[in-house]
Amino acid sequence: MINYIFKDDAKRNISVGKIVCLARTYIKHAEEMKSNVPEVPLLFLKPASSIIFDGDSIIFPKISKCLHHEVELGIVIGKKCKKVSSINALDYVLGYCVTLDITARDIQSIAKKKGWPWGIAKGFDTFAPISNIILKEEVSDPNNLSILLKVNGDARQSSNTKNMVFTVEQIIEFISSVMTLEPGDLIMTGTPEGVAEIKKGDVLEAWLSNICSLKVFVT
């Protein structure tokens, strides 16, 4: 079991459950991937074993030659929910974090061509770095947070969660219509434009407005 780390340093003993990820939730990122934004959210899963924390390292797998960064808003679920309405969806949120959906783009490209799922491309150990969790009470509007990623000090991805095609509330409503969300589940909400390669030796720094930050390395 991997327990979350909280920004307020309190020990809450909440372990990471399933990680539900969305793809193509920002129009400009869908365009750069030569894809369309789907009418309903496009979901995939990452294993909890892919989680790492601030100060840790992303390990470059031997079978990939091309890793990409995708900076994303993370939502941590606080209460079990199934088939919730967007109107009260935020009642089920514990907090938020900034996350990186690390992707073996070369493996994903082959999978896309063959119509295969993305489990390998998205699921290696260390492929889900997350910041410490900030409680939702500290966040006035999750649908208006700036999101920024720098690699070796250079800005690579810069956007705002208001540019997502679905709100946080709509995302929780949709996912909970498919599967029960449980305390400790993490939703990775998709990435804005600017995804690009990372190399061994790179330093990645991500921010969610001025409320969360994350620094990880590539080895």
First to last CA, the chain: 24
Nearer to Mg ion, 157 or 191 (CB): 191
- Min dist. Cβ of residue 8 to Mg ion (A): 27
Look at phi and psi of residue 137 and say left if phi exceeds 0, alpha if psi is from -120 to 50, else beta. alpha
Nearer to Mg ion, 131 or 191 (CB): 191
Q: Are 4 and 99 within 8 A, CB to CB?
A: no
- Min dist. Cβ of residue 168 to Mg ion (A): 16
Sign of CA dihedral 55, 61, 67, 73: negative
Sites of contact with Mg ion (CB under 5 A): 70, 101, 191
Nearer to Mg ion, 25 or 132 (CB): 25
Nearer to Mg ion, 68 or 136 (CB): 68
Tell the residue number behind the tokens 């589940």, with chain if given.
Answer: 185
Q: Phi and psi at residue 216, in whole multiples of 5°?
A: -135, 165
CA angle 11, 12, 13 (to 5 degrees): 100
Residue nearest to Mg ion (CB): 101
- Min dist. Cβ of residue 70 to Mg ion (A): 4
- Min dist. Cβ of residue 154 to Mg ion (A): 20
